[in-house]
Amino acid sequence: MAGNVFGDPITDEDVKIIYPNKEIITRRDRAEVAFLNINAKGRDANAKTFVHNLKERYGNGISALCMIFNATGDTLTYSGKHDWHGHIYESPYPAKIQNGQWGAFLHVHPSWFAGSESAVVYRGFNGDDYLCDWMLSWGIPYIGDNHAYTEIREGHHYETDHWDNIQSLLESQCTHYEDTWNGCYSMVTIGEGTSPEFVGIMTLEGITGRNKININSFLTSNASASAKRA
């Protein structure tokens, strides 16, 4: 397991524990059980601890404490990023995030007077074996309010330059955004201040609605922790 992914992967065996009589297990079943376990066995807490330790080593300055969760039913693979301002610090973007795992990383501002503004893309499948890209983005300006934006498109979509348009969409948003596309769902949220937590959830359409309490409890604690400034 990579050093910046957290939690045991959710597999068919985990689905059988909850649904012992289920004969055919689908990607959607694995996604559902992954989301049920979003906070289980300290996986979310371990991701938080990791990224806060990165921040402590980095020190003062604008930074995004990023934590992203995979509940798509299969492994998501890193497929690219785009930095408008800033860069990743010390620990890379996770190359793979298995179903039911959190990935964590710190994105920091450049040395000159600018904030942290970036996007990352992960590739996987919807419930019908269609290749999709989940794009998660955040912005912490040097002056002004923080913002978050996400969208999902067909696989390899972001290999074409859409970044000027995405930047405009990102900067027009507030601190929470959701997207649904082709059976997939993503949600992003960012806290206030100059070093907030940024949380992204990548899953399938309809999965989160079945267990809102898990995500709401995580986002509540996220908003509280993000209140401090660098």
Per-residue tens of pLDDT for the chain, all 230 residues: 569 999 999 999 999 999 999 999 999 999 999 999 999 999 999 999 999 999 999 999 999 999 999 999 999 999 999 999 999 999 999 999 999 999 999 999 998 889 999 999 999 999 999 999 999 999 999 999 999 999 999 999 999 999 999 999 999 999 999 999 999 999 999 999 999 999 999 999 999 875 554 455 555 455 444 444 44
The answer to the question of residue 18 being in a domain is: yes
Query: What confidence score (pLDDT) does residue 215 get?
Result: 53
Domain limits for position 165:
5-225
Query: What confidence score (pLDDT) does residue 209 get?
Result: 73
Query: What confidence score (pLDDT) does residue 16 get?
Result: 97
The answer to the question of residue 230 being in a domain is: no
Q: What is the CATH number of the domain that holds 160?
A: 2.60.270.20
Q: Which long-range contacts (CB under 8 A, 24 or more apart) does 82-85 make?
A: 82/118, 82/119, 82/158, 82/163, 82/166, 83/117, 83/118, 84/117, 84/118, 84/139, 84/163, 84/167, 85/109, 85/110, 85/114, 85/115, 85/116, 85/117, 85/118
Query: What confidence score (pLDDT) does residue 208 get?
Result: 85
The answer to the question of residue 60 being in a domain is: yes
Give CA separation, 15 vs 7, 27, 30, 67, 163, in Å: 16, 10, 6, 24, 38
The answer to the question of residue 177 being in a domain is: yes
The domain total for the chain is 1
